[in-house]
Amino acid sequence: MAPTQTAPQRAHDSAHTAPLWPCLALLVLAVGLYFFGLGSFYAPTNGDEMVYIHIARLTAESGHWLPLVSDLGQMRNTKPPLLFWQALVAGDWGAHWSLFALRLPSVVYTLLTAAAIAWFTQRLSGKWRTACLAAVIYLAFFSSFRFSRVYLTSAPETFWLALPMWALLWSQLRPPGVAANGSAWLARAAPWRAPAALLWFGAFGLCMGLGLLYKSFALVAPAAAALWCALLAGQPWRLRHLLRSTAAVAWSTALALGVFALWFALDPDPAAVWQEFVVGENAGKMAGAHGYWHAALWGDYPLWTQLLAYCENAGLLFFVVLGLAWAGARAWFKGRPWAQATPAQRTLWLWLLVWLVVFSIPSQRSARYVIPAMPALAVLLALYWQRVARGWFLLTVLLTSAALVVLGRIAWVLGGMLGGEPLWRWAAMLAVAIGLAAGLAAWVARGWSRKATLLACLSVYTTFGLMVAPLDASQAQYSALAAQHLAGKRVAVPNGFTAQYERFHFLMPNSTLAPYDTDGRNTGALHPELPPAERLDFLLQNFDAVVWIDSDSQATAPPCAPRCTALGYRWHVKSRHKSGEVTLANVWQPEQWLLGREWLLVPAH
């Protein structure tokens, strides 16, 4: 009589014999999603993207690599120059200035990171199914889809700062005859005694330096600390190993900071770089108005929220990451998993832990700060995928199902209001149906629960892209005739958040734009104290045209008629809602709280 298998054993056997094609199909879908809607104004992003695009555009117009140029006062040296130089090259110094061109390098960086994740996962697990799974997991993280797909800094910094850790993992995975104890080839001698080590750790320093030149010199702390801890964990605890590893990482750190210091050497105004970036953007995040510990415990960025940083970055996979933490905690209390772990596994866990600890120290904490460690989380999730209890996946599909229902309703309403090509509307409904079917399969088919969960997550992203696609259609934009009419003229445009008016440069590239305040959120705006009607009259009297947002989506005429003429309108998607705008009574009617009209107005003659 055959022995009875436990549930974990059955899951492991099922995973071992599972076919490769479902993981490959999920990977193809995930990669395709990173290109779909890449040039959309409505792609998931954050407000800082337009700040960076504004600086990049004006720097390109200056014809010089440095100094960086901005019309935003103190928001000029808000990031190091490599991010903006990337835009100058991608946009051909303004000759091919489009959202797609500016965002494409981020996608390339992200896919290169996903490829590295897949390769190392295959080396760790010996299975290409698990390798594909790891890449899909990384691409399904909301932090990857939101911050490593658009024109932000997360994708390039993640790629460059991960290279030293990948190199260390590679050394730890070499055959025993090649490297006796994993990282020995990296830490056997101090840099000044071993030319090979000098070169390798010098290369690590250059890689880290490029990552710093994309984001901040402060990232050298977690990057170097993670490398140092992983080096020590991969060899016996001896004083000479400690000294050699410390010397090697110190050499990499010094070189990385030297690469970052090139900004000061090359910029014509290094004093401004120091004041705006070092002091304003970095040093100011180390202290709170009421003291460090008050801010850490009761401030706007309390310490406890950082403990959920990886879960928050995972987005729809929030509960799955919690499940991984729970599985790890259970294994820890049942035995000695650290002593039994391979050097490569220790490196992955230390990668996550060090970044979390380091970015719990500043007074301003954010889940975004640990995004460069998300590749390690993707690898670990893939390796422990079958050990995460099925209940965490079922919680995830409940979350995705709710999101699909809401997005599906919005897509249906938008498709009806915008008219045009009905294909987008029905494609969105198909994506919703596939996602909901995947959620159902996760409940009824135990063997497919995990893959179905990933399909449901990707269906949410697909539905969102199909939902906003009609808003980017040509018939939903201002006509080419209207743009030609405004060429060379002064146009007042709304600016509800810093540099958000920059998006109008893509719509009216030959006009002179002047931002004005909306809802009293932008300082330095044009008469924000005036009531809306009087402000609109003021703008019409002083500018050739005005872009005006009307919150009433049902309005068929501009609010200034007959004193003005409408050259056209677009739908405005509200991103910030006041209290009481969204209620249980109107949540099923998104046209009442999601949409407004964006009028392009000229004075009546």
Alpha carbons 530 and 233: distance in angstroms, whole number = 63
Helix-helix angle 449-472:423-444, to 10 degrees: 170
Alpha carbons 470 and 453: distance in angstroms, whole number = 28
Domain boundaries, the chain: 42-277+298-387, 389-474, 477-603
Q: Which residues pair with 602 in a beta bridge?
A: 565
Q: Please determine, for residue 169, whether its predicted confidence score (pLDDT) is greater than 50.
A: yes
Q: Please determine, for residue 419, whether its predicted confidence score (pLDDT) is greater than 90.
A: no
Q: What is the mean pLDDT of residues 76-100?
A: 94
Confidence (pLDDT) at 376: 97
Peptide bond between residue 67 and the one before it cis (omega within 30 degrees of 0): yes
Q: Please determine, for residue 397, whether its predicted confidence score (pLDDT) is greater than 70.
A: yes
Confidence (pLDDT) at 238: 79
Confidence (pLDDT) at 189: 41
Q: What is the mean pLDDT of residues 387-409?
A: 95
Residues 488-538: tens digit of each pLDDT: 899 999 887 778 889 999 988 889 999 888 754 444 456 666 777 888 888
Residues 16-68: tens digit of each pLDDT: 567 888 999 999 999 999 999 999 999 999 888 999 999 999 999 999 999 99
Residues 309-357: tens digit of each pLDDT: 999 999 999 999 999 998 888 877 776 666 677 888 889 999 999 999 9
Q: What is the mean pLDDT of residues 141-157?
A: 95
Please tell me the CATH code under which domain 477-603 is placed: 3.40.190
Alpha carbons 87 and 50: distance in angstroms, whole number = 12
Q: Please determine, for residue 583, whether its predicted confidence score (pLDDT) is greater than 90.
A: no
Name every residue whose Cβ is closer than 8 Å to that of residue 318 and which is 6 or more positions away in sequence.
311, 312, 396, 399
287-305: b or e for each residue (b if 16 or more CB lie within 10 Å)? ebeeeeeebbeebebebee
Greater confidence (329 vs 160) lies with: 160
Residues 439-459: tens digit of each pLDDT: 999 999 988 999 999 999 999
pTM of the entire predicted model:
0.91
Confidence (pLDDT) at 439: 95
Greater confidence (386 vs 418) lies with: 386
